[in-house]
Amino acid sequence: MNKVNLIHMKKLILALSAFCAALFTFTACAGPNLDHLNDMLDLDYSKIVLTVKDIFFEDLPLSDSNEEVSLTSVYEITYSGDVANVHYLVERFAQIDGILADESLATHEMLEGEAMIKDGLVITKPDDDVWVPIQIAGGLNFKSQYFDNIDLGDMYFTADVKNPRAFMGSELYCTDMKVSAGFIDSFINMSITYRAQSGNNVEILYEFTL
């Protein structure tokens, strides 16, 4: 090999090395591929149980004991063909009806009912003011750029969520969101926690059954 060809070879090697380094760097910044998690969201689960716990902030003592004061709502979603049945048990603080001094009046009350949703529309629902979703366009979306400190294993995923609205697919304003999920070939469970704008701590637990 003559001297000219050797110089060209060196330049080619350097260029190729630089390209590989750039490719490696780019790949490292983009984070791991999470497409398989999104694929698991598209599976046909027979049941999903959604538990939402809203824990009121400690600096406003709502309880005269050291126990936390919270409101917990549970939504159990099952499917009959293309109809989603949402059985809900929503907990609220009870308001006082000034006319009645009911001995059974407690700080909390439960609203229970079942709604049926088809094609994003509520087709049946009890006559109460419990909100149920209609025409949801978004939903959970796993993309690496939405997270920091990703820890992805064969059967688990944990991360700090730096873009909660994009990840949750909802108009949510919060801080300190974290996600952890367990799965095999489908999701088993998922936990999302965050601190709401009001200062409350919220814990959402998803339980999936295929």
Q: Binding residues for other proteins, per CB under 8 A?
A: 41-42, 45, 48, 50, 52, 54, 56, 61-64, 69, 71, 73, 75, 77, 84, 86, 90-96, 98, 100-101, 103, 105-107, 117, 119-120, 131-133, 135-140, 168-172, 192, 196, 198, 200, 202, 204
CB of 95 to other proteins, least distance (A): 4
Structure tokens at 98: 């000034």
- Assess contact for 83 and 123: CB atoms under 8 A: yes
Q: How far apart are CA 145 and CA 186, in angstroms?
A: 22
The smaller minimum CB distance to other proteins, of residues 1 and 99, is found at 99
The smaller minimum CB distance to other proteins, of residues 4 and 100, is found at 100
The smaller minimum CB distance to other proteins, of residues 70 and 144, is found at 70
CB of 139 to other proteins, least distance (A): 1
Q: Token pair 């108009």 is at which residue?
A: 171
Q: Token pair 């694929």 is at which residue?
A: 39
CB of 163 to other proteins, least distance (A): 13
| Sign of the CA dihedral with 22 first, then 25, 26, and 32 last | positive
CB of 127 to other proteins, least distance (A): 17
Distances (CA, A) of 37 to 33, 58, 63, 187, 188: 9, 35, 40, 8, 12
How would you classify the pairing of strands 108-118 and 83-93? antiparallel
